[in-house]
Amino acid sequence: MTRVCVFDDAEAVARHASDALALAIADARERGHDTHIALAGGGTPQRAYELLSQVEGSWMHVHLWLGDERCVPDGDPQSNAQMVRDSLLATDRDEPPWLHALHRPEQPEDAAWLYAQEICEHVPDRVFDVMLLGMGPDGHTASLFPGYPALNVLEAPCVAVRDSPKPPPERVTLSLPVLRAARFTLLLVTGAEKAEALAGVRAGDQSLPTALLGEGLDEIACDRAAAGEG
């Protein structure tokens, strides 16, 4: 059953996400294992990464992946990889994490194929340790939008998206089975404009991509506005 944690505001949600990621990183370090974390884009995740960047210790065992990416040139401010570099990786470390960014992001099909190969090389069972997700007012998560064919992909670990209803139009996203399979999936939702979609997800509305995570969604961290409490 999905746990729902309601916080006062977006800052508290971001801090909770930062703490959850820090715990996963520390636990993997203690066990001497690599940990594979899929990151979300968006304002609240970005704030979580800024907070997490201050956590000390070796991160050489940490592999950072992108739950989805916009097909824009490397370094473009719309790039999720660039956002991660500017927030989570802004602090110099003697032993930094590995950031797995897309190759050739300007070509979504090529980029999706290459990223899938990289995932299969480093995460052969396609099971990420932590999956951090956000959600849009339409109920989309990663770049899985309502009614789009990418939702039907069952075999490939990631898929190209064209004509996204949210700019930029060309993207690459992890597929729904990969999102569902993660060992721990945390969904961050903030803002009153997402309250209706969040209520639908909690009610199991299958027209919403986020609701299709089903039992694969372990925890929702939201603010009071998104929970419809303020």
- pLDDT, tens digit, for every residue of 190-199? 999 999 999 9
Architecture of domain 3-223: 3-Layer(aba) Sandwich (3.40)
Contact 53, 96 (CB under 8 A): no
Summarised one tens digit per residue, pLDDT across range 108-129 is 999 999 999 999 999 999 999 9
- CA-nearest of 21, 141, 174 to 84 is 21
| Predicted pLDDT of residue 116 | 97
Instruction: Tell me the C-alpha distance between 194 and 224, whole Å.
Output: 11
Instruction: Tell me the C-alpha distance between 230 and 221, whole Å.
Output: 15
Instruction: Tell me the C-alpha distance between 226 and 199, whole Å.
Output: 9
State yes or no: pLDDT of 87 exceeds 80: yes
* Per-residue confidence band for 51, with pLDDT thresholds at 50, 70 and 90: very high
State how beta strands 130-134 and 184-189 pair.
parallel
Contact 142, 175 (CB under 8 A): no
How many helices, marked H, and strands, marked E, lie in the chain? 6, 10
pTM for this structure? Answer: 0.97
Q: What is the mean pLDDT of the chain?
A: 96
State yes or no: pLDDT of 230 exceeds 80: no
Contact 12, 210 (CB under 8 A): no
| Predicted pLDDT of residue 57 | 87
State yes or no: pLDDT of 94 exceeds 90: no
Question: In the chain, pLDDT over 90 holds for what percent of residues?
Answer: 92
| Predicted pLDDT of residue 80 | 97
Instruction: Tell me the C-alpha distance between 98 and 86, whole Å.
Output: 15
Beta bridge mates, 187: 133, 220
Find the range with the poorest average confidence among 12-21, 95-104, 205-214. 95-104
Report the pLDDT averaged over residues 179-193. Answer: 98
